[in-house]
Amino acid sequence: MNKADLIEKIAADTGITKTQANAALDSFTEAVTKSLKKGDKVTLVGFGTFLISKHKARMGRNPKTKQPIKIKARNVARFKAGKELAAKL
């Protein structure tokens, strides 16, 4: 399922237009992104939690040249499924 399919499904289920469904989905993703940037986590009870995972700097290896390279520390977005979602899968 891609974004267009999801927008179509939301519009059909809620009886709103695709434009309104797109605006709602964009608002949701923007809100989650802003919360994660601030370092907060977003919990949707029964669905799951969006959170930030911190990866430390480390040494890696260039697979082409086999030379060691430094991999910078970075933050990565994660999603942890809630109990209800996990049970349905």
**Residue 84: its pLDDT value, please?**
93
CATH class of the domain comprising 41-89:
few secondary structures
Of the pLDDT bands very low, low, confident and very high (cuts 50, 70, 90), residue 85 is very high
Domain ranges of the chain: 1-39, 41-89
pLDDT at 52: 95
pLDDT (tens digit per residue) in 17-28: 999 999 999 999
In DSSP terms, 79 is beta-bridged to: 50
For residue range 32-82, list pLDDT tens digits in order.
999 999 999 999 999 999 999 999 999 999 999 999 999 999 999 999 999
d(CA 31, CA 50): 11
Q: Between the CA of residue 63 and those of 60, 67, 69, what are the distances in Å?
A: 9, 8, 10
Q: What is the pLDDT of residue 56?
A: 95
